[in-house]
């Protein structure tokens, strides 16, 4: 079997694993396999970044994740996922200027080719960064776009609008309209 294929199959197993011990074991295995793999491309470095980012102690390994996401971008600027996850890292570190800068580098048209929720979540995350950086009107504009998407897509294509809810007051018009669409937000 192709080693690359085996690495990505192991990662699928890692994603599905529910027990921490199993995830930790798979993380070590995958990292070892990647260390021995001489033909690492953008997707391999993205995978390395995800292995640390998707861990319980991601804060300890965040610098390594950032380096791997940057290497993945360097190898393929058209790979939207490492760019997106690099922005996530900065948002998680509350470095919102860097998060916003990197969210804005994500190829939105390419992201629209993937499940719709990914594009909508990107718009929400940009809105979150703008709002928290003091650009509330710009943030609200992005949140309004999220709301418009929610009105026209099936419920199965939606994800929890956590950043929107986190930013806006509970009685804000957008939040009130979102609550009509997403009754679990009550």
In tens, the pLDDT along 110-141 reads 999 999 999 999 999 999 999 999 999 999 99
In tens, the pLDDT along 6-54 reads 999 999 999 999 999 999 999 999 999 999 999 999 999 999 999 999 8
Class of residue 177 by CB neighbours under 10 A (exposed 0-12, middle 13-18, buried 19+): middle
The C-alpha atoms of residue 82 and residue 73 are separated, in whole angstroms, by 6
Whether 44 contacts 57, CB under 8 Å: no
The pLDDT score that the predictor gives to residue 6 is 93
The pLDDT score that the predictor gives to residue 1 is 56
Model pTM score: 0.92
Domain coordinates in residue numbering, the chain:
1-77, 107-186
């Amino acid at each position: 079997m192709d080693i690359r294929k085996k690495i990505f199959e192991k990662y699928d197993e890692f994603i599905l694993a529910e027990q921490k011990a199993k995830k930790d074991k798979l993380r070590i295995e995958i990292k070892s396999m990647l260390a021995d793999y001489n033909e690492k491309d953008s997707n391999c470095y993205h995978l390395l970044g995800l292995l640390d980012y998707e861990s319980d102690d991601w804060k300890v390994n965040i610098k390594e994740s950032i380096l791997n996401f940057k290497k993945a971008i360097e190898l393929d600027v058209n790979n939207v996922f490492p760019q997106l996850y690099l922005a996530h890292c900065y948002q998680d570190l509350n470095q919102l200027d860097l998060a916003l800068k990197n969210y804005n580098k994500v190829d939105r048209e390419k992201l629209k080719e993937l499940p719709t929720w990914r594009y909508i979540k990107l718009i929400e995350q940009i809105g979150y960064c703008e709002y928290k950086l003091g650009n509330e009107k710009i943030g609200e504009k992005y949140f309004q776009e999220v709301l418009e998407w929610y009105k026209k897509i099936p419920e199965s294509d939606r994800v929890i609008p956590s950043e929107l809810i986190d930013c806006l007051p509970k009685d804000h018009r957008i939040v009130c309209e979102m609550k009509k669409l997403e009754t679990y937000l009550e």
